[in-house]
């Protein structure tokens, strides 16, 4: 790896940026790491270069790529973070300091694991770009594990699966998540990895390519008829994901049917729906296998049209239809999102990051903090709509009461019923992604029902119910009963 490759890769997504500072950062890091070797025997500067290159691949901004080049300088050389700040400014120095503070995360039992998760959460809420750098640093470390003793290799792989990969998924950086997981899979389960690789990558490759060609032969002429620019890609399920599905559903490899999908990338949203129409006229769609994540994106921002059809030879094939921007965001997550929005990263934190900040303010105990974050943040999310068309993000299995409090505290306190998709529903009914919900209220009602605590799922709803239920009529009566003190 050399600095010219990094600059070229960075310029692909940032053609108007002045890249002179990248060369300066390389010279600074190269001089600082002079004489240092990695366990593999290669010069240490290679690790910094590879980390920066991966950052450029995910469309990270200039300060982040610079920090990738410099991330180990204060910790492993005689240069300090003050030297970094003097030469490259406060923003880069803060990113490098964030990596240093994050430290070397190591899996040493459940207590150490929780402490390290806490550190990751803190780093994310300060500046998520610190986590981007840490992920890219870890990915290159996994690619060069051979220089370490076997026991240490397995420890690094295990902690990556436990800590890094799930958070990469939450950030939507699927390109990194898949690579991290497959490298860990290869290290931890080498025989299983080799067996799957043999079946998936070698034995089935020719058969798959032949089948893709049949589909393209039918689809491409129809796309040309409407004079549409397009790019057709093949998306393969990564090996660790296949392994997990085989384990979870107790299936053999040949019984896993969604190991690949065809991806059609087009210029704009209107073209996405045109391509969908063409595909459905060519082949019969499979019932209940159509998802419109453009109209209703996933909570992590993922957008695409998904449909499964019965293709040639009646084989089930999934199509994913999206724009180039959607495709980049699906691979690179928040890094690509910021790149397209051209806004400051700190202003683009998603809702769940803000929720982590709120929880950290309220909970000081580490065990309780992790429990709260896992329960309230790392659950799957759904979008529910109001009659006005406003979308509200909730945790999976949320109820109309959770939805009511997401709108406004008064709506929650006064809720007496719910209309779900134009039908009368129950207040404890589980909501689904895309539901249209109207809350029925009684303005004469001032206080929530404490029994709602038995079924609500969101932290906001629980907190508001506890807060206002204390003020209810029962608590006022207790003030006049001897020997009973009202709750404060």
Residues 75, 111, 218, 451: which is the catalytic one? Answer: 75
The single residue of 42, 76, 162, 428 carrying the catalytic annotation is 76
The C-alpha atoms of residue 142 and residue 152 are separated, in whole angstroms, by 11
Tell me the angle at which helices 45-57 and 3-13 cross, rounded to the nearest 10 degrees.
10
Catalytic, 76? Answer yes
| Residues catalogued as catalytic | 75-76
């Amino acid at each position: 790896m050399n600095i010219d490759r990094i600059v070229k890769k960075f310029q692909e997504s940032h053609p108007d940026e002045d890249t002179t500072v990248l060369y300066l950062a390389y010279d600074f890091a190269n001089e600082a790491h002079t004489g240092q070797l990695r366990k593999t025997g290669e010069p240490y500067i290679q690790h910094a270069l590879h980390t920066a290159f991966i950052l450029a691949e995910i469309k990270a901004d200039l300060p982040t790529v610079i920090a990738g080049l410099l991330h180990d300088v204060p910790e492993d050389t005689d240069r300090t973070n003050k030297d970094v700040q003097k030469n490259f400014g406060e923003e880069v120095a803060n990113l490098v300091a964030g990596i240093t503070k994050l430290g070397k995360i190591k899996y040493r039992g459940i207590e150490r694991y929780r402490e390290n998760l806490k550190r990751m959460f803190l780093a994310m809420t300060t500046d998520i770009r610190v986590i981007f750098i840490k992920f890219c640093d870890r990915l290159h470390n996994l690619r060069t594990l051979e220089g370490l003793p076997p026991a240490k290799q397995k420890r690094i792989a295990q902690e990556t699966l436990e800590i890094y990969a799930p958070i990469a998924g939450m950030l939507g950086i699927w390109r990194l998540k898949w690579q991290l997981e497959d490298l860990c899979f290869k290290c931890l389960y080498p025989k299983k990895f080799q067996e799957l690789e043999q079946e998936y990558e070698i034995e089935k490759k020719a058969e798959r390519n032949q089948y893709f060609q049949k589909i393209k032969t039918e689809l491409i002429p129809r796309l040309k008829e409407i004079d549409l620019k397009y790019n057709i890609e093949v998306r393969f399920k990564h090996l660790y994901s296949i392994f997990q599905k085989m384990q979870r559903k107790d299936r053999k490899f040949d019984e896993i049917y969604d190991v690949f999908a065809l991806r059609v990338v087009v210029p704009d949203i209107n073209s996405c729906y045109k391509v969908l129409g063409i595909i459905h006229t060519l082949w019969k769609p499979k019932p209940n296998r159509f998802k419109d994540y453009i109209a209703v994106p996933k909570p992590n921002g993922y957008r695409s049209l998904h449909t499964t059809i019965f293709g040639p030879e009646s084989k089930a094939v999934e199509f994913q239809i999206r724009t180039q921007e959607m495709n980049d965001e699906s691979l690179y997550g928040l890094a690509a999102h910021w790149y397209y929005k051209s806004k400051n990263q700190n202003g683009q934190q998603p809702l769940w990051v803000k929720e982590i900040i709120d929880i950290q303010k309220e909970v000081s105990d580490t065990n309780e903090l992790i429990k709260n974050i896992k329960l309230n943040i790392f659950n799957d999310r759904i979008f529910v709509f109001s009659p006005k068309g406003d979308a509200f993000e909730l945790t999976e299995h949320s109820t109309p009461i959770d939805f009511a409090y997401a709108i406004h505290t008064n709506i929650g306190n006064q809720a007496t019923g719910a209309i779900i998709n134009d039908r009368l529903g129950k207040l404890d009914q589980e909501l689904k992604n895309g539901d249209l919900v109207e809350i029925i209220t009684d303005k004469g009602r001032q206080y929530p029902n404490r029994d709602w605590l038995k079924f609500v799922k969101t932290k906001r709803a629980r907190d508001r119910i506890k807060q206002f239920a204390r003020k209810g009529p029962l608590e006022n009566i207790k003030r006049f009963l001897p020997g009973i003190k009202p709750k404060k």
